[in-house]
Amino acid sequence: MTNAELSTRRAAAIARGVGVSTPLFASRARNSELWDSEGKRYIDFAGGIAVVNTGHGHPRVVEAVKAQIDKFSHTCHQVAPYENYVELAEKLNAAAPGDFPKKTLFATTGAEAVENAVKIARAFTGRQGVIAFSGGFHGRTFMGMALTGKVQPYKAGFGAMPGDVWHVPFPMTAHDITAADSIAAIEGLFKADVDPARVAAIIIEPVQGEGGFYPAPPELMRDLRALCDKHGMLLIADEVQTGFARTGKLFAMDHHDVAPDLTTMAKSLAGGYPLSAVVGRADVMDAPHPGGLGGTYGGSPLGVAAALAVLDVIRDEDLCARAENLGQQLKSRLSALRNEVPELADIRGPGFMVAAEFMAEDGTPMPEMAVAVRDEAMRRGLILLTCGVYGNVIRFLSPITIEDAVFAEAQDILAESLRAAKSALDAGRAAA
């Protein structure tokens, strides 16, 4: 069927709230390439929103899942546990940031991991409050929405959010918000709104995802760690989008000289199969009583098998180093285009978690430019995603396993799309 025909069927059958960002319907995919229902080929620079860092259908991941299916697909770990759940927990305990004993919980989605991290923090501290950051994204469940620092489209129309959640500004160099401003805002909360003795945790993305790919400055992480230690709060790193080699390290917190108490992870953990985790200090993780954590599909044996293969691929193919190399290439190519496209105001991000932000000469955000680039690239066969508090950021989330020739082709399409989008916008302004 055509994309248009499928879109008509979709509109009639699927809830309107499940939005889509492209007009295509996928029929198959391989590594960094995707073909739609009409047979058109695209280069995938979305990666299922950072889910397939190891590429679509990596042979080692596929084989691991096939082997597990031949054994069993589900028992529920709380009913009949299985060894690969234990093995993956052991590996993540060893790999996650922090030089201390750790334990792991497996769930299904990133939002579920965040929910469980908050539950664990509250159980350990005996406190309720959580501090999060403006622009942050932590999921679409009610606690996830409460923690998320963006109303549209995540909170609008869904009523009151859970209480005891406060937001402070996230540092954004392009918008003149510093790490010192963020810490001052937290200190202001402690003076005006909440006793720090009521706060269980501070949750932060080491690099904001939906918020615009803004990296947290090292001094912010150090100051947050010090604040948490001073007041008996826990530090939660939401690594759902940043994890598994995307930033040039296995975890983004590996770029920092302090460690969180709890780390949430999902997305590329299992290379396209539903799996999430909370990994943290053993004493903290053991705070909830038996039965207080878990879920029917949590730690699916298929997802766990995929995740074990993903960790092997990251190690054996040195994907952390490749992410650094690809990211540098992309940032250099974008930087070379700034004379032609001066609206390309900021290029940022660690490793291959790269973003381009568009602003007018006076610093006004230009979401129309980001949308124009995205749409032009789609017409030319390159899938891009926008993000950012102002919707003026393009984020690049290609599989880290992308072939060199395909990566070069994608960069050429991106350059052409930037030029074409600028020309179209300039022509529109002139006509007006």
Query: pLDDT (tens digit, 9 = 90+) per residue, 169-185?
Result: 999 988 889 999 999 99
In the predicted model, what is the mean pLDDT of residues 127-146? 96
For residue 234, which of 272, 203, 255, 193 has the smallest C-alpha distance?
Answer: 203
For residue 188, give Cα distances in angstroms to 22, 171, 250, 317. 42, 16, 34, 47
Longest CA–CA separation in the chain, Å: 68
Q: Where in the chain is the domain with CATH 3.90.1150.10?
A: 3-58+318-431
Task: Record the pTM.
Answer: 0.96
Q: Is residue 262's pLDDT more than 80?
A: yes
User: To the nearest whole number, what is the mean pLDDT of the chain?
Assistant: 96
Encode 322-335: b = buried (16+ Cβ within 10 Å), e = exposed. bbbebbebbbebbe
Contact between 410 and 398 under an 8 Å Cβ cutoff? The reply is: yes
Q: Is residue 258 very low, low, confident or very high in pLDDT (cuts 50, 70, 90)? A: very high
Q: Using omega within 30 degrees of 0 as the cis cutoff, is the peptide bond preceding 288 cis?
A: no
CB distance 369 to 343 below 8 Å:
yes
Per-residue confidence band for 222, with pLDDT thresholds at 50, 70 and 90: very high
Cα distance between residue 138 and residue 165, in whole Å: 13
- Sign, CA dihedral 187-193-197-201, equals negative
Residue 334 is predicted with a pLDDT of 98
User: Is residue 356 predicted with pLDDT exceeding 90?
Assistant: yes
Tell me the per-residue pLDDT of 282-331, one tens digit each, with 9 for 90 and over: 999 999 999 999 999 999 999 999 999 999 999 999 999 999 999 999 99
Confidence of residue 430 (pLDDT cuts 50, 70, 90): confident
What pLDDT score was predicted for residue 428? 82
Assess contact for 67 and 284: CB atoms under 8 A. no
**Cβ contacts of 86 within 8 Å, gap of 6 or more:** none
Q: Which CATH number does the domain 3-58+318-431 belong to among 3.90.1150.10, 3.40.640.10, 1.20.140.10, 3.40.50.300?
A: 3.90.1150.10
Q: According to CATH, what is the number of the domain 59-316? A: 3.40.640.10
CA atoms within 13 A on the CB side of 59: 1
The pLDDT tens digits of the residues spanning 149-164 come to: 989 889 999 998 998 9
**Continuous H helices in 140-235:** 142-147, 179-192, 218-231
Token pair of 272 as six digits:
């396209």
Q: Nearest-CA neighbor of 304 among 94, 79, 120, 74? A: 74
Residues of the chain with CATH 3.40.640.10: 59-316
Q: How would you list the strands of the sheet with 385-387, edge to edge?
A: 344-348, 354-358, 393-396, 385-387
DSSP label at residue 56: B
- The backbone torsions φ and ψ at residue 13, rounded to the nearest 5 degrees and listed phi first, read -110, -25
What tokens does 55 get?
Answer: 């590429």
